Chain A
Amino acid sequence: MTKDAKKDIIMRAEKLNYIYSRDTAFEHYAVKDVSFDIKNEEFIGIIGHTGSGKSTLIQHMNGLIKATSGKIFFHDTDIYSEGYDMKKLRQKVGLVFQYPEHQLFEIDVLTDVCFGPKNQGLDDEQAKERARYALSIVDIPENFYKKSPFELSGGQKRRVAIAGVLAMKPEILVLDEPTAGLDPRGRDEILDKVSQLRESEHMSVVLVSHSMEDVAKYVDRLMVMSDGRKVFDDTPKVIFRHYKELEKIGLSAPQITYIIKRLREEGLDLDEGITTIEEAREAILGLLKNNKGLDDI
């Protein structure tokens, strides 16, 4: 590893274990022997069936859950070391839970988003400035600031809730299924936005998702969880080639992967690693242009 590449890593976890109901008959490893790192401006997806340990794992990232054993370093400092400022960590690693709009509670949108920065110790004006910044990132216009959060549509509420976390200017944004229950356009809007944040705000993003299509389209790197263990950690392209193994652990590949597999069986010369509609379209039109790969037909 070169010196520069090492500098890029902002969080590193080593051999994390988390045991529920320890020393009882119900003792159970929710996270088992998981190591990972998160680099600056990286977009990481986490997939796994319900109960695979995804949600428990991400709660380690901001210290909400303390590992039974193992270590986590944030900017090379051990977060479990004595006197470590957990409050600060929770601001630097912003966690957006499932259905975060259920946690909206203030009288209007702006006040709600101010809640986090105020807790950070900022004064009224500074907090408002942060809130405006965060709301503008998620495209909530100014005429919404004085509305009650409950008057907004599902997608708008969700964006306001995400703004509440962004207002704390986290370095890592962790989202637990941010698109659940949204309509297809709403899903794209949230993920497009989050994807832009990496570059515009120099943020790293961790996305827990049940949609293989979404992770194929957006993330650079994918971690696959099963029974508390990390079973894959690679690019989506590499991982979705293992669709049979994914099916065994209750997951699947995007529909495009299965389409490409069928077309390859029919004799078309297409790359196995195609996982998005765009890539499939280009590849199929490419075949036509080059009259290639049709010898067997």
Chain B
Amino acid sequence: MGIIKAAKLIFEYISRDEQDNIDEVSRAIDNLDLDIKEGDFVAILGHNGSGKSTFAKHINAILLPTEGTVWVSGMDTADDSSLLNIRKTVGMVFQNPDNQIIGNIVEEDVAFGPENIGVTTDDIWKRVDESLKAVGMTAYRLKSPNKLSGGQKQRVAIAGIMAMKPKCIVLDEPTAMLDPNGRKEVINTVRQLNEQENITVVLITHYMEEVIKADRVIVMDDGNIVMDGTPTEIFSHVDELKRYRLDVPQVTELAHELKMAGLDLPEGILDIDEFVKYLMPAIKQGIKQ
């Protein structure tokens, strides 16, 4: 069993009328099975309403299964007595940085989490130091969060999670509100935590270029997993992705279009170097014919 495992997971949102009678039941997760290996960088793609965020909220027991089971490090999330340990194991970062910051200065904000779980004062400061260093925000530790850019705020939010020493971080569209530089900052930070601190990362995003370096990409549709593979495997299916309302990076799409027009190129090209490497011989070959 990996660090996160879901078996036959079903989740239904139930809306009730004024008399508390069940008005409508909508199934957001429909019989989902998933096993995530410790230390992996896993990206989850899917259109609005595909069930990604609902699933993410199961990973640290914000939502509990209607049916089926979710385990985090072997702990059943439906087991009340494990709740604190689950929340210590999995930290969550959300879309809007302004909703997640509570401290008056950066270091206070980062200290909030460990203080809440009863870490000793000396140890809190040590964790604050380490976490700010890990996200590259040490220089801002005495600044007011108000004065930070969106990308910096998200890095502070991530430091706050790191200070709880989690094994896994789940990020639900952490870059949706950021400018291109802010997006890069956050994604590079997350990648570093994954590579250097061996933190398991689950990244939910609508930006295809953010997932090309993931170990594994999962595509969700209608509350279940419809594609699961490496970025190269997933982005080899341009038309299928588009059917799921998704997209591919521009370089992948250009290569796909040229292949369709008869050039000898592989599917699933993810970056410019790879594209150039395959395109130049393909063009030479095209000329000879």
Contacts and interface: CB of A to CB of B under 8 A. Distances in A.
B62 interface: no
B281 to A, nearest CB: 10
Interface string A247-272: 00011101110110011001010000
B254 A277 contact: yes
Interface string B180-215: 111000000000000000000000001011000000
Interface in B224-250: 242, 245-247, 249-250
A252 B258 CA distance: 25
B257 A262 contact: no
Contacts of A187: 206
Given A259-B275, A262-B272, A263-B276, A281 B177 contact: no
Interface stretch (A10-18, A56-64, A286-294): A286-294
A238 interface: no
Contact of B48 (A182, A255, A256, A281): A182
A107 interface: no
Given A250-B179, A263-B279, A297-B284, A183 B258 contact: no
A277 B253 contact: yes
A251 B279 CA distance: 28
B261 A185 contact: no
Contacts of B177: 98, 180-181
A255 B249 contact: yes
Contacts of B176: 180-181
A153 B48 contact: yes
B49 A251 contact: no
Contacts of B69: none
Contacts of A108: none
B176 to A, nearest CB: 5
A210 B250 contact: no
Contact of B181 (A184, A250, A262): A250
A50 interface: yes
A154 B283 CA distance: 43
Given A255-B209, A268-B283, A284 B258 contact: yes
B251 interface: yes
A213 interface: yes
Contacts of B275: 259
A259 B283 contact: no
B206 A181 contact: yes
Interface residues of B, number: 41
Nearest to B284: A297
Interface in A157-201: 180-187
A48 B254 CA distance: 27
A284 to B, nearest CB: 6
A65 interface: no
B30 interface: no
B179 A285 contact: no
A280 B150 contact: no
A116 interface: no
Interface in B247-289: 247, 249-251, 253-254, 257-258, 261, 263, 272, 275-276, 279-280, 283-284, 286-287
B95 interface: yes
B47 interface: yes
B254 A184 contact: no
A277 B238 CA distance: 14
Contacts of B251: 255, 259
Contacts of B258: 281, 284-285
A155 interface: yes
Contact of B173 (A181, A185, A256, A263): A181
A270 B114 CA distance: 56
Contact of B250 (A49, A154, A181, A213): A213
A155 B250 contact: no
B93 to A, nearest CB: 15
A182 B272 contact: no
A212 interface: yes
Contacts of A49: 149, 179-182
Given A50-B179, A182-B48, A186-B245, A280 B254 contact: yes
Contact of B208 (A184, A186, A212): A184
B180 A184 contact: no
A51 B149 contact: yes
Given A181-B173, A259-B254, A280-B254, A297 B49 contact: no
Interface in B129-160: 149-151
Contacts of B150: 50
A250 B178 CA distance: 12
B257 A184 contact: no
Among B48, B178, B257, max chain A CB count under 10 A is at: B48
A210 B180 contact: yes
Contacts of A182: 48, 206
22 contacts: A50-B149, A181-B95, A181-B173, A181-B176, A182-B206, A184-B247, A185-B246, A186-B47, A210-B178, A251-B179, A251-B180, A255-B249, A255-B272, A258-B272, A259-B254, A262-B272, A262-B276, A263-B276, A268-B283, A277-B253, A281-B258, A294-B287
Interface of A: 48-51, 98, 153-155, 180-187, 210, 212-213, 250-252, 254-256, 258-259, 262-263, 266, 268, 277, 280-281, 284-285, 287-288, 291, 294, 297
The 3 closest A-B CB pairs, nearest first, are A185-B245, A184-B247, A183-B47
